[in-house]
Amino acid sequence: MALKYPDILEHNNPNLPLVDITSLKGVAYPIGALNDTGSIPTAKRNPGAIVFLTGSAQAFYGFKGQDSGSVAWDNPSNWEILGSGGGSVSTGSLLTTGSVSLNTLTFTKGDGSTFALTVDTGSGGGSGVGFPFTGSALITGSLGITGSLNVSGSVINELTSSYAMTASFADLATTAITASNIVFDGDRIISHVSMPAGVFDVNYGGTD
């Protein structure tokens, strides 16, 4: 049967402990959440008190306030988590959210400030440039096109073409549907020439 005392037990020698810690049942006051510190009786509150959260966020917290009154006791900022490496952690510099807009990454920190990072996609030109492309381009090697090629304007100095739908000047053309000037000289073989109605001034080279 438990013995009840009307007041706090004290040792008659203040330099000696009243009871050994191994004789205590529990060394922290259990509460569901840190906001429940107000449920602890006033007589059991003291600076340096330790509580244990029994809810989903299980952890030990120590009371670092100097006043155990309700205002300080119920303030969560006066409670510090224990066993986290010592000291409180400032969350102001920690990243909380991030977003992406085109090639710009924007991050938000715990203090509400933001900073952005721009990813260089190479859109300024040079090797590996994607389309759409504006400006002049020099292609060394082969250009493979899947689909259709739409040209706005004219193709300048097309020297060799195996199939040209429309050409203003063709130095060598295997098949030309429409051409205003095709040059033939004495060193080139001409075959399968079909002159539609309206064709005139045909010059096969040589002398007239």
Q: What is the pLDDT of residue 192?
A: 64
Q: How many whole angstroms separate alpha carbon 178 and alpha carbon 11?
A: 116
Q: From residue 200, give the alpha-carbon distance in Å to each of 129, 146, 177, 194, 195.
A: 46, 37, 16, 12, 9
pLDDT of residue 124: 47
Q: Which of the residue ranges 30-39, 108-117, 178-187 has the most confident prediction, judged by mean pLDDT?
A: 30-39
Residue 107: count other Cβ atoms within 10 Å of its Cβ.
14
Distance (Å) of CA 19 to CA 16, 25, 44? 9, 12, 17
How far apart (Å, rounded) are the C-alpha atoms in residues 50 and 78? Answer: 12
Percentage of the chain beyond pLDDT 70 is: 61
Mean pLDDT (the chain) is 74
Q: Write out the H or E segment, with its range, that includes residue 73.
A: helix 70-73
| Total Cβ atoms within 10 A of residue 202 | 9
Q: What is the pTM of this model?
A: 0.35
Least confident of 61-70, 112-121, 125-134: 125-134
Region of poorest pLDDT, from 76-80, 101-105, 182-186: 182-186
Kindly report, residue by residue over 44-76, the tens digit of the pLDDT: 888 888 999 888 778 899 998 888 788 889 888
Token pair of 118 as six digits: 């721009």
pLDDT band at 16 (very low <50, low <70, confident <90, very high): confident
Give the residue, 45 or 83, on which the prediction is more confident: 45
**pLDDT level of residue 17 (50, 70, 90 thresholds):** confident
- Average of per-residue pLDDT across 140-161: 70
| Distance, C-alpha 42 to centroid of its chain | 50
- E strands in 45-195: 50-53, 59-63, 79-81, 95-101, 104-109, 114-118, 160-161, 164-167, 172-173, 176-179
More confident residue, 173 or 16: 16
Cα–Cα distance measured from residue 161 to residue 114, given in angstroms and rounded to the nearest whole number: 56
pLDDT in the model for residue 159: 53
Q: Which residues contact 68 (CB under 8 A, 6 or more apart)?
A: 42, 45, 46, 47, 49
pLDDT value at residue 97: 85
In whole angstroms, what is the distance from residue 13 CA to residue 36 CA?
36
Query: Model confidence at 204, in pLDDT bands (50, 70, 90)?
Result: low
pLDDT of residue 125: 45
